[in-house]
Structure 1
Amino acid sequence: MLIDGLQCGSFDRGVFEDLRAGGFTCVTPTLGFWEGAIESLDAIGEWRDLARAHADVVSIVRSTDDILAAHKAGRIALLLGYQNTNLLDGRIRYVELFAELGVRVLQLTYNNQNELGSSCYETVDPGLARFGREVVREMNQCGMLIDLSHVGDKTTLDAIEWSQKPVAITHANPASVFPHKRNKNDAIIKALAAKGGIIGCAAYRNITPEPACDSVDAWAQMVARTVDIAGIDHVGIGTDFSHHSNQAYLDWMRSGRWTRTVQYGAGSAAKPGPSEKPAWLKTISGLASVAPALARIGFNADEVEKITAGNWLRVYRATIG
């Protein structure tokens, strides 16, 4: 089994076939970044149409049992998620409504501070807001996994502590391995693990060491370093792989409707364009090379299974049911 905690971009039949070629069990696609409630409803409708049109290879899932059933049937499980909480439009009731529509993963903040808390790019992080605490507990009750990937450090720690269920950093790496505002320091990773959570190691070049982009064995070594910090039960895969993304998609991710200025996201003025894929992961089917690489650097079969799928399944069971 192979589970990826987050991918983004534009999905189509070709992407689904590539996922199947890579041996995937479950993927969380990104349905939105800056969209409000109506646009987010549109995205859910479009994904339902897409899954219906390709029902022989994919199915939208709502529970851990659904993931296992899809795997048994030879279909890729799609666990729907958003990289922001703008879809709530400030309404606590919308958590339950979107959960009933099949949304199972919500990142509390994207690249800006919002009503819930701070992003990783703010100068000052005041922590989880009162509305943020309400949303965290509502997500706990409604079977949604809390994602803290782009969230500021203080808000992240507050959410870990406030949540009554394990939380996830679906797509990031240790800052001690690659210093970047998008990555997480060791104290956060250890706090996450202490509450039963998981970090999905990313393969996004802007937040990943260059050697880990050049070879899958070096990427596996980065995963091993993350295991050293979090423990073997709290590390998974969260590639942040983007399908068919172009400049317009990149501009929307970075700028939305909130700014007139140039934004680089996790990039920089020196690297302003779309991030080049890792040499070993030009297409997503290349992720099939991870399990053998983990074995080559010393992980046993049970440990490889935990990193590639088992740890995600445990957290999903504890959060989405």
Structure 2
Amino acid sequence: MFVDGLECSNFDREVFEELRAGDLGCVTVTCGFWEDALESLDRVVAWRDLVRANADLVAVATTAAEIEEIQASGRTALLLGFQNSSFLAGRIGYVELFADLGVRVAQLTYNIQNDVGASCYDPVDGGLTRFGREVVEEMNRTGMAVDLSHVGERTSLEAVEHSAVPVAVTHANPASLVPHARNKSDELLKALAARGGVLGVSGYRNISGEYAATADTWAELVARTADLIGIDHVGVGSDLGRKVVADDLRWMRQGRWTRTPQYGAGSAANPGKQPPLPWFPDTRSFPGLAEALARHGFGEKEVAAVMGGNWLRFYHEVLPKRSAKE
């Protein structure tokens, strides 16, 4: 089964058809970035409507068993996720509320500090707040996976330690291989792996550097990451942004918190949306990633683990055993 740890595309029927053409068994989708609780509820409703209109191609999964059932039916399982915890609005009870609505993945912080902890771009990281510790505990209890992709170093380390179950970095790379604030230290990645977590290796140009050149250089990035933390803790996290336009990018980077230009993982010299990778323009190219890994010397079982098996094991351990519909 092919699994993508995170995408932030503007999904429609065409993009869903691309998922099927790429034989994606499961994808974590981004429901929001800066939205408050009411806006986030609207986003969940919008996703339900979208999935209902395309039920022949996709379905929302809330358990690992549902992922497998949906994939077996010839459709792609969608895990609903948020790239920030702003949907909680400072209310601990909203973790369970959104979990009951089917949300299964949440990043603790996005690109600025919040009431849970610090982001990777904050100059000072005070670690998990008192509220943040309770949020992690509630996410564990309700079966919502903790994502540390944009989270600061100290906050991430404390989240790994405080969590009762494995946590994820759904879309980033080792900073020792590609130095960037959005990438993760060896210390953090080794701690994550020691607790059973998974890193989704990304080909996003801004955080992949020279490894984004070809599918084969991306496979080299995967190989060096596996050497660092072990093959069992490496997956794919494309961070693909199909049909994302300038206004979407501006919202991701600026939200409502600033009037000044923000570049996210880019820079003033590289401010815009990154062009599609010629070797990975959309998810129809997923089989090509498996082929690149095989060319690089990965065995059949290793390819299967990286391309989806490790994520599925993680979901079996972290997501609830019973459906949100029960």
In structure 2, what is the Cα distance between the partners aligned to 1:285 and 1:78? Answer: 16
In structure 2, what is the Cα distance between the partners aligned to 1:216 and 1:240? Answer: 16
Find the counterpart in structure 1 of residue 285 from structure 2. Answer: 286
Q: Deviations over 1:282-304 (max 9, x none)?
A: 12211220111111111111111
Conserved in 2, the CA contact under 8 Å of 1:61 and 1:79? yes
- Counterparts of residues 141-180 of structure 1 (less than 5 Å): 141-180=141-180
- Counterparts of residues 303-318 of structure 1 (less than 5 Å): 303-318=302-317
Q: Deviations over 1:137-190 (max 9, x none)?
A: 000000000000000000000000000000000000010111000000111110
Q: Does 1:2 align with 2:11?
A: no
In structure 1, what is the Cα distance between the partners aligned to 2:292 and 2:24? Answer: 17
Find the counterpart in structure 1 of residue 223 from structure 2. Answer: 224
In structure 1, what is the Cα distance between the partners aligned to 2:282 and 2:303? Answer: 21
In structure 2, what is the Cα distance between the partners aligned to 1:22 and 1:207? Answer: 24
- How many Å apart are 1:9 and its aligned residue? 2.5
Conserved in 2, the CA contact under 8 Å of 1:59 and 1:75? yes
Q: Deviations over 1:173-222 (max 9, x none)?
A: 01011100000011111000000000000111110122x22210110110
Find the counterpart in structure 1 of residue 324 from structure 2. Answer: none
- Counterparts of residues 1-321 of structure 1 (less than 5 Å): 1-210=1-210, 212-321=211-320
Q: How many residues align?
A: 320
Conserved in 2, the CA contact under 8 Å of 1:81 and 1:103? yes
Amino acid at match of 1:250: L
SS at 2:24 equivalent: coil
In structure 1, what is the Cα distance between the partners aligned to 2:286 and 2:121? Answer: 29
- How many Å apart are 1:262 and its aligned residue? 0.5
Amino acid at match of 1:85: S
In structure 2, what is the Cα distance between the partners aligned to 1:46 and 1:188? Answer: 35
- Provide structure 2 residue ranges, at least 5 long, that are not aligned to the other structure: 321-326
Amino acid at match of 1:265: G
- How many Å apart are 1:309 and its aligned residue? 0.8
- Provide structure 1 residue ranges, at least 5 long, that are not aligned to the other structure: none
Q: Report the RMSD for the aligned CA atoms in angstroms.
A: 0.7
In structure 2, what is the Cα distance between the partners aligned to 1:55 and 1:282? Answer: 24
What is the percent sequence identity of the aligned residues? 57
In structure 1, what is the Cα distance between the partners aligned to 2:93 and 2:286? Answer: 38
In structure 1, what is the Cα distance between the partners aligned to 2:274 and 2:128? Answer: 31
Q: Deviations over 1:234-268 (max 9, x none)?
A: 00000000010111000000000000101000000
- How many Å apart are 1:276 and its aligned residue? 1.6
- How many Å apart are 1:279 and its aligned residue? 2.1
In structure 1, what is the Cα distance between the partners aligned to 2:139 and 2:196? Answer: 16
In structure 2, what is the Cα distance between the partners aligned to 1:104 and 1:229? Answer: 28
In structure 1, what is the Cα distance between the partners aligned to 2:122 and 2:277? Answer: 28
TM, length-normalised to structure 1: 0.99
SS at 2:6 equivalent: strand
- How many Å apart are 1:275 and its aligned residue? 1.1
Deviation >3 Å, runs of 4+: none
In structure 2, what is the Cα distance between the partners aligned to 1:278 and 1:227? Answer: 23
In structure 1, what is the Cα distance between the partners aligned to 2:298 and 2:183? Answer: 24
Conserved in 2, the CA contact under 8 Å of 1:213 and 1:279? no
Conserved in 2, the CA contact under 8 Å of 1:177 and 1:209? no
Amino acid at match of 2:142: C
Which stretch shifts more, 272-281 or 108-117?
A: 272-281
Q: Deviations over 1:92-144 (max 9, x none)?
A: 00000000000000000000000000000000101111100000000000000
In structure 2, what is the Cα distance between the partners aligned to 1:260 and 1:188? Answer: 33
SS at 1:25 equivalent: strand
In structure 1, what is the Cα distance between the partners aligned to 2:144 and 2:218? Answer: 29
